[in-house]
Structure 1
Amino acid sequence: MMKKISIILSLVTSVMALQGQNTVSEVETYGTVDQAVGNIAFTNDGELVYSHHPFFSPEIRVVKFDKKANTTSPFPNLEWNTPRETDDNYLSNVLGIRNDENGVIWMIDMAQRNNVTPKIVGWNTKTNKLERIYYLPESSVPSISQPNDMVVDTKHGFFIIADEGIGNGGDGSKAAFIIVDMKTGKTRRVLEGTRTTKPENTPTVINGKHLAVNGKDLLIGNDGITADANFEYIYYGSLNGPKIYRIKTLDLVNEDFTDADLDIKIETYSDKPNNGGMSIDNEGNLYLTALETKSVAVVLAKDRSVKTMVQDKNMVWPDGVSYNHVDGYMYVSAAQVNRGAPFNEGKSVATKPFYIFRFKPVVKGVSFR
């Protein structure tokens, strides 16, 4: 009898956690690998495709993960992961990666490692062929750019990219959005260095240690980004900043609006921790990788309160968080970026293995963003 009561209480506690109480929900280790995992996407069959975190200059930029064999293979193939001088049809430096409802995996190539033009590469996993390349010219991606993550808005026909503004020595003060028209390929840079895209003075502190380079706090601008189920709103925020903002998608992509016009239309949505990746579910609950606390936070749509969704001692620098439409889990990487050489007197203290976690969201997640 006591055992039955204990089981019932455990179930009640679990339900309370999912309803937004100050408790930690369950998380499980999905896989362990030898290199740092950046952002995660999925094929239509639910297979994991992810970027090796570019912070560690991986030889293979993007891979597909085979759970049964616990192995990876270059995605889409080895040729696309092999830099060369003859052409630029390869992946140079990838973090942001998303999938759409058509089976296309879209990858942001930030370039920087090689002398190529930044671009978005789409690979159709149904046909196993290149879908399209969208080049990102210097007018939209200046030298200080670091196009980190994106929303793939197939409803309105736009890629909406969050640019952290820390490329090539940038200090985040010129972080922005990059808007790419899927039909024409036209690109625009908006809200550069404005109040909601540039970082605030909220340094990243992990285990009492500031994330700093040469004694100066690294402050990162526009980073986490997602859209709701109907692509009505874009949710976003600087990595170093205490707020989530949102703006109507059709306003953000409207060429007639100036930055001043857009600023008026931006809503301060909720509080947040310093965070990397962002995802959402069908009821509008937001999931944020909380870098400083080895956890994923959730902003509940019902009252916009911030709770800890899941936490694990091995979730060191949780980065991307994405929903798998096949098995119903949110997946999250642990990249150990804070253990990299630039933050540890020139010597990396990152250790194998690197973890991939998963957990059930409050309700069904939004699959294609």
Structure 2
Amino acid sequence: MPVARCPVIISLALAVLAGALSVPGVGRAKAAEDPRLAVAITLDVPSTGISIASDGRRFLVLARLDGSAGPQVVEWKDGRLAPYPDAARNGWTKGDDPAKAFIRVNAQRIGPDGALWLVDTGAPGIGNPVLPGGPKLIRVDLATNAVARIYPLAAVTRADSFVDDVRFNGGHAYLTDAGAPGLIVLDLATGQGRRVLDGHPSTVSDRPVSAEGKPMHGPDGKPLHIHADQLEVSPDGRWFYYQPSSGRMSRIATRYLDDPSLSDAALAAYVEPFAETPSTGGTAIDAAGNLYVSDTDRLAVLRFAPDGTRTTVVQDPRLVWVDAMWIDDAGKLWMPAAQLNRMAPFNDGTDRVAKPLTVFTLAIDAKPAPNDHR
């Protein structure tokens, strides 16, 4: 009957329209660009994180998922990328000692001590197992431009681990494991680490990551799940926030996280849901405790207040997969638009990255959390 079919036709039309809007270049191309965004750096290789030192030096980590050769950690100097701290650390090849060079650096950031900290997954490529001695946290002294200490993570990682990122709180470093879902608590004085919340629902991705309105797939063609990924510490050091890349942010009081006497079962009782966040590439936190969360579907950056309320900071068609963000002393939010979802490993084997890639800045009238970096 014609009347009965009308709702179906309308639904199909809406579905086609929704599908068209999720297709690259359709709908999104008509979206207005926000004039507040400033282009800070242009790159040929995606960057998944940037740090700005107190003296203005800029450091980036490059995601060479396209198989390109070159350094992974760089300093931006006079418009050029220089391997940092040197070419040798960035020059690992198969057969070299994994403990003495970068295997695959996934994150970098200047810590509250003013040093540059690097997270090395220890796996030479997506889907490859970690190498013996490969996973590590590295501290680089910016005054001497030399590696000051290496924290081996073999005792707290597994064959399918993907140590993702790091934050600091007093004498501890917190790291997320996006491969074998869980958290790592590292005593910076002793170098001893503990795995906590292993396989807890708050660390496990329960839905595929999506970007530009499309679920992402891994190199194996299966829906992509990135477990415990983004993380932040509140300015007062009281709360640790974390989530899988697909969203749903949780928090736990750091006093429980730091307590080695608590079992995982006991620790789990203190986990709290914080906010219904979207699929996310990266986060940042300001001195007032506001969390900045990139929305990889809406091509936006959201702000979550300490009470969980949400506002949109900026939305722009150029903000494709904004990864780890940075707040500088001038009150600017630095946003590397990495376009990771467009790279071949996550786009069914087809690379559709639009070059050059861009690191944007936006004035947000906020200062960085003093316990986050200086």
Question: 2:18 maps to what in 1?
Answer: none
Tell me the equivalent position of 1:323. 327
Deviation at 1:311, TM superposition (A): 2.2
Q: What amino acid does structure 1 have at the position aligned with 2:163?
A: P
Residues 354 and 25 from structure 1, CA distance in 2 versus in 1: closer, same or farther, beyond 3 angstroms? closer
The match for 1:282 is 287
Matched, 1:150 2:162: no
CA distance in 2, matches of 1:209, 1:272: 17
Q: Determine the C-alpha separation between the residues in 2 that align with 1:140 and 1:57.
A: 28
- Which whole-Å CA distance do the structure 2 matches of 1:235 and 1:26 have between them? 29
CA contact (8 A) 2:213 2:297 kept: no
Tell me the CA shift for residue 86 of structure 1: 5.1
TM-score normalized with structure 2 length: 0.83
- Residue 329 to residue 208, structure 1, CA distance change in 2 (3 Å): closer
Deviates further, 49-58 or 224-233 = 49-58
4+ residue segments displaced more than 6 Å: none
Cα deviations by residue, 1:207-233 (Å, 9 ceiling, x for unpaired): 443212355321211111011112221
| Pairwise CA distance, 1:286 | 0.5
- Counterpart amino acid of 1:161? L
Cα shift at 1:362: 4.8
Structure with the greater alpha carbon radius of gyration:
2
Whether the 8 Å CA contact 1:281–1:361 is kept in 2: the answer is no
Paired residue total: 329
Give the corresponding residue for 1:112: 123
1:338 is paired with a residue whose SS is helix
Question: Which of 334, 341, 344 does residue 341 from structure 1 map onto?
Answer: 344
Distance between the aligned counterparts of 1:25 and 1:232, measured in 2?
A: 37
- Tell me how far apart the structure 2 counterparts of residues 317 and 207 of structure 1 sit (CA, whole Å): 8
1:48 and 2:58 are equivalent in the alignment: yes
- Aligned partner of 1:219 in structure 2 is 225
Query: Which residue is equivalent to 1:27?
Result: 37
Contact 1:25 1:309 in 2 (8 A): no
1:4-153 to 2 correspondence within 5 Å?
26-58=36-68, 59-66=70-77, 69-84=78-93, 85=95, 87=97, 88-113=99-124, 115=131, 116-137=133-154, 139-153=155-169
**Whole-Å separation in 1 of the counterparts to 2:276 and 2:215:** 21
SS in 1 for 2:297: helix
The aligned counterpart of 1:357 is: 360
Q: 1:180 aligns with which of 180, 186, 202?
A: 186
Q: Do the aligned partners of residues 355 and 348 (structure 1) sit closer, same or farther apart at CA in structure 2, a change above 3 Å counting?
A: same
CA offsets 1:231-255 (integer angstroms, 9 cap, x no match): 22111111113x2211111211211
Instruction: Name the counterpart of 1:205.
Output: 210
Q: Which residue identity is paired with 1:233?
A: W
Deviation at 1:98, TM superposition (A): 1.6
Query: Is 1:163 matched with 2:177?
Result: yes
Indicate the percent of aligned positions where both proteins have the same amino acid. 28
Shift of 1:135: 0.4
Tell me if structure 1 keeps the 8 A contact 2:210–2:279: no
Contact 2:212 2:296 survives alignment (8 Å): no
Deviation at 1:97, TM superposition (A): 1.1
Q: AA paired with 2:150?
A: I
Using the TM superposition, give the Cα deviation of residue 129 of structure 1 relative to its aligned residue in structure 2, in angstroms: 2.2
Change (3 A) 1:111 1:268: same
Secondary structure at the counterpart of residue 65 of structure 2: helix
1:237 aligns to what?
243
What letter matches 2:328 in structure 1?
N
- Which of 194, 202, 206 is the matching residue for 1:196? 202
Residues 80-116 of structure 1 show CA distances to partners (whole Å, capped at 9, x for unaligned) of 1111545432111011112123321000111111844
Q: Provide the C-alpha distance between the structure 1 equivalents of 2:204 and 2:36, rounded to a whole number of angstroms.
A: 34
**TM-score normalised by structure 1 residue count:** 0.84
Residue 31 (structure 1) shift: 1.5
Instruction: Give, in whole Å, the separation in 1 of the partners of 2:236 and 2:346.
Output: 40
Q: Which amino acid aligns with 2:281?
A: G
